Amino acid sequence: EIVVTQSPATLSLSPGERATLSCRASQSVTKYLAWYQQKPGQAPRLLIYDASNRATGIPARFSGSGSGTDFTLTISSLEPEDFAIYYCHQRIEWPYTFGQGTKLEIK
Amino acid sequence: EVQLVESGGGLVQPGGSLRLSCAASGFTFSRYWMAWVRQAPRRGLEWVASIKHDGTEKNYGDSVKHRFTISRDSAQNSLYLQMDSLRVEDTAVYYCAKVVVPADTGAFDIWGQGTMVAVSS
């Protein structure tokens, strides 16, 4: 199966700062990578699909880039509601796999 | 409003069975692949199973293969997960999820609120 590794495990930043989260796949997933945000007690929320497509209703401060094995989720200027756990997910082949998550916390 | 509502979770003994249901509304259910994703307490997300929009293809995670069965009923706009031979490690919140693009296997844009399954003696 494709192993998806996220880094860092925890990212401590302040509101207004830029956040850069990384996701690396153990083999190429071409463009088929998605990003989700999850807050405590809530279901995940799709942010980005197919590497760079923003999902419906997602603010423009969220952007995704990358292809092959290396991907990045960028939040251009952090809002207080952005502090959460972020997961990446590959869907190029079965079994689908998720990264272990990056916790974005307030510094 | 596009909505998914899961039901059927609960406490079950190891080796037991449980059937989860997911009621879909607000979209053309028969056009979309659907999936189950679970999350063990204080853990990350784990994909469980997916089913094609017409029900003709099903895929499973290695940890549930041959024990869980995904199915759907387009007349009822419902998704199901039959879970047999349950293990303690199956304890998790189970989410029903819809794929973002019609007829595509892709990412999950709509999620239910989740239903808790606890496997314990």
Measured at the CA of A51, the angle between CA A67 and CA A103, to 5 degrees, comes to 105
For residues A71-92, give the mean pLDDT: 98
| 3 state SS for B59-113 | EECCCCCCCEEEEEECCCCEEEEEECCCCHHHCEEEEEEEECCCCCCCCEEEECC
Query: Across the strands, what pairs with B70?
Result: B81
For residues B31-43, give the mean pLDDT: 97
- Per-residue model confidence (pLDDT) at position B105: 87
Q: Cβ distance A85 to A101 under 8 Å? A: yes
For residues B22-50, give the mean pLDDT: 97
pLDDT by residue (tens digit) across B56-107?
Answer: 999 999 999 999 999 999 999 999 999 999 999 999 999 999 999 998 888 9
Nearest to A46 among B47, B62, B100 (CB): B100
Residue A93: is its pLDDT beyond 90?
yes
Q: Residue type at A82?
A: D
What value does the mean pLDDT of chain A take? 98
What value does the mean pLDDT of chain B take? 97
B107/A98 touch (CB, cutoff 8 Å), yes or no: no
Query: With an 8 Å Cβ cutoff, is B50 touching chain A?
Result: yes
Nearest to A96 among B47, B95, B113 (CB): B47
pLDDT by residue (tens digit) across A11-39?
Answer: 999 999 999 999 999 999 999 999 999 99
Query: With an 8 Å Cβ cutoff, is B60 touching chain A?
Result: yes
Instruction: Give me the residues of B, 75-114, that contact A with CB < 8 A.
Output: 95, 100, 105-109, 111-114
Nearest to A87 among B45, B61, B111 (CB): B45
- Per-residue model confidence (pLDDT) at position B106: 87
- Per-residue model confidence (pLDDT) at position B103: 86
Which of A96, A98, A100, A102 should one mutate to test binding to chain B, selecting the residue with the greatest count of B CBs within 10 A?
A: A96
Sequence-distant (≥ 6) Cβ neighbours of residue A23 within 8 angstroms = A4, A5, A6, A33, A35, A66, A70, A71, A72, A73, A88, A99
Question: What is the signed CA dihedral for B113, B22, B37, B119, rounded to 10 degrees?
Answer: 90
Q: How far is B75 from chain A (nearest CA, A)?
A: 26
